[in-house]
């Protein structure tokens, strides 16, 4: 099966290099490996350690701090290949935070913070895998967060709750988003929010952080938690960037990250179609391969076509992000995520249907892809919220939320 149509996308030299290197790493981890991780709900430490040892956790860390200094065009290739390489969307999610949580530090961190942390991240010694935004009373409506950091002398004191926070168990530090001015006292609700760096071991040692795992049915080897902060003391130097500007700092770089999420969906979709096509060629019913039936071929073909369309948009937008022409990046990034998540879902659904009863047998993996594909329609932003953005910002319709 072609991964894409010849000539439809011209990869650059650096993109080809990333693709080859990641494929080499992925080839060391077979289907059994991922099946076992899924069955045991066990984080893929070996896979992540291999990537870290090769410096991939520092993908977005500038070269001056020992990182790879990659841009979005290379990162979409990296993460698509990780998902397509057998581990699916969950494998990409196992490292996604570690890579993207360096971005606010690079853009807004103090020199001391950058000099201390970024080289260690690039060497794979320290992980900043956790990003704490979502709260029980503020999911999609993130400016309604209630976690509050108040200034006391030279320290910040944090109280509040977070939910659905991933990879706390494999992270040394978290990027925390909290209110520093009450919502009622700011002119716009996007103001008065700040960003902090939290040393997780220190927070636990202070007795100011507790967390419980959330049992879930998708991406089962990447764990998510509910967090309780109770009087957590942070030094003044833990503030990332400017007090009160944290929400804008979250938004900065979000479009590029969303394109990379789209690429992770594309990788999952490709993996699902590959498995569907292989089974359709091999399984014989009524004396012929099931893939000879159009009812089996067409859903796979349709999903493939949709994946190609989503890939064109994702990769073209990733290229745009590297140039000066970033005016419409928000529109492209949101459309790419929407189309790629839906295409991945259709691909996984077609792969399950193609497998007949074995579509739900864990041995064939496609049930896992299906659950992950469903998840891509919910995270990191739901499909409806993406459409809200397109309706308002692209089509000029009244704001609906
Ligand atoms: C596996 C997993 C990992 C996660 N990891 C992290 C993490 O590491 N860090 C973090 O901060 N967060 C994380 N999240 C949270 C994730 O970003 C949120 O779940 C997501 O943004 C949706 O928020 P919600 O679940 O509160 O849904 P809600 O906001 O409660 O929405 C519920 C439903 O209503 C719809 N809806 C609500 N308002 C509107 C509207 N105005 N118009 C149309 N539809 C609307 C939504 O689209 C959705 O379908 C994770 C979530 C999951 C499931």
Whole-angstrom Cα distance, residue 102 to residue 273? 33
| Nearest CA residue ID for atom 43, ligand 1 | 384
Q: With 60 as the cut, is the pLDDT of residue 256 above it?
A: yes
Task: State the pLDDT at residue 320.
Answer: 84
pLDDT in tens, 37-73: 999 999 999 999 999 999 999 999 999 999 999 999 9
How much is the pLDDT for 28? 98
Q: Is 382 in the pocket of ligand 1 (CB under 6 A)?
A: yes
Is the minimum distance from the CB of 166 to ligand 1 under 6 angstroms? yes
What would the pLDDT profile of 314-355 be if each residue is shown by its tens digit? 999 999 876 655 558 999 999 999 999 999 999 999 999 999
User: What CATH number has the domain spanning 130-244?
Assistant: 2.40.110.10
Q: Could you state, in order of their start, the residue ranges of all structural domains in the chain?
A: 13-110+114-122, 130-244, 250-394
Site to substitute for ligand 1 among 214, 378, 387, 389, most atoms within 8 A of C-beta:
378
CATH of segment(s) 250-394: 1.20.140.10
**Mean pLDDT of all residues in the chain?**
96
What's the pTM?
0.97
Mean pLDDT of 371-385: 98
Task: Write the pLDDT tens digit of every residue in 88-123.
Answer: 999 999 999 999 999 999 999 999 999 999 999 999
Nearest-CA residue for ligand 1 atom 4 is 164
CATH superfamily of 13-110+114-122: Acyl-CoA dehydrogenase/oxidase, N-terminal domain (1.10.540.10)
Looking at residue 321, its pLDDT comes to 77
Question: What is the atom index within ligand 1 of the atom nearest the CA of 387?
Answer: 43
Q: Give residue 4's pLDDT band: very low, low, confident or very high (50, 70, 90).
A: low
Residue 310 Cβ < 6 Å to ligand 1: no
């Amino acid at each position: 099966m072609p991964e894409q149509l010849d000539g439809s996308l011209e990869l650059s030299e650096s993109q080809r290099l990333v693709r080859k290197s990641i494929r080499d790493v992925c080839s060391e981890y077979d289907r059994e490996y991922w099946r076992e991780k899924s069955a045991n709900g066990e984080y893929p430490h070996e896979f992540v350690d291999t990537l870290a040892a090769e410096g991939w956790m520092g993908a977005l860390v500038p070269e001056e701090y020992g990182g790879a200094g990659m841009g979005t065009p290379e990162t979409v290739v990296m993460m698509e290949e990780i998902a397509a390489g057998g581990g699916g969307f969950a494998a990409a999610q196992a490292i996604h935070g570690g890579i993207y949580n360096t971005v606010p530090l690079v853009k807004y961190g103090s020199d001391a913070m950058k000099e201390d942390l970024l080289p260690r991240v690039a060497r794979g010694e320290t992980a900043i895998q956790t990003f704490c935004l979502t709260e029980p009373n503020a999911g999609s409506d993130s400016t309604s967060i209630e976690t509050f950091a108040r200034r006391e002398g030279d320290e910040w004191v944090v109280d509040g709750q977070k939910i659905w926070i991933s990879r706390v168990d494999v992270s040394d530090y978290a990027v925390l988003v909290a209110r520093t001015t009450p919502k009622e006292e700011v002119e716009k609700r996007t103001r008065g929010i700040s960003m902090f760096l939290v040393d997780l071991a220190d927070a636990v040692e202070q007795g100011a952080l507790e967390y419980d795992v959330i049992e879930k049915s998708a991406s089962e080897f990447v764990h998510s938690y509910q967090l309780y902060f109770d009087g957590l003391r942070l030094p003044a130097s833990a503030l990332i960037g400017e007090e009160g500007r944290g929400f804008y700092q979250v938004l900065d770089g979000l479009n590029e990250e969303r394109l990379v999420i789209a690429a992770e969906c594309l990788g999952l979709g490709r993996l699902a179609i590959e498995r569907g096509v292989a089974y359709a060629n091999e399984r014989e019913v009524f004396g012929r391969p099931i893939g000879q039936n159009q009812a089996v071929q067409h859903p796979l073909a349709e999903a493939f076509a949709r994946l190609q369309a989503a890939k064109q948009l994702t990769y073209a937008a990733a290229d745009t992000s590297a140039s000066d022409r970033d005016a419409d990046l928000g529109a492209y990034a949101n459309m790419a995520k929407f189309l790629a998540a839906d295409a991945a879902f259709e691909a996984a659904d077609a792969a399950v249907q193609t497998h007949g009863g074995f579509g739900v047998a864990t041995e064939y993996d496609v049930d896992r892809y299906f659950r992950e594909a469903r998840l891509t329609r919910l995270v990191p932003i739901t499909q409806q919220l993406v459409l809200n953005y397109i309706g308002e910002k692209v089509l000029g319709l009244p704001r609906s939320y």
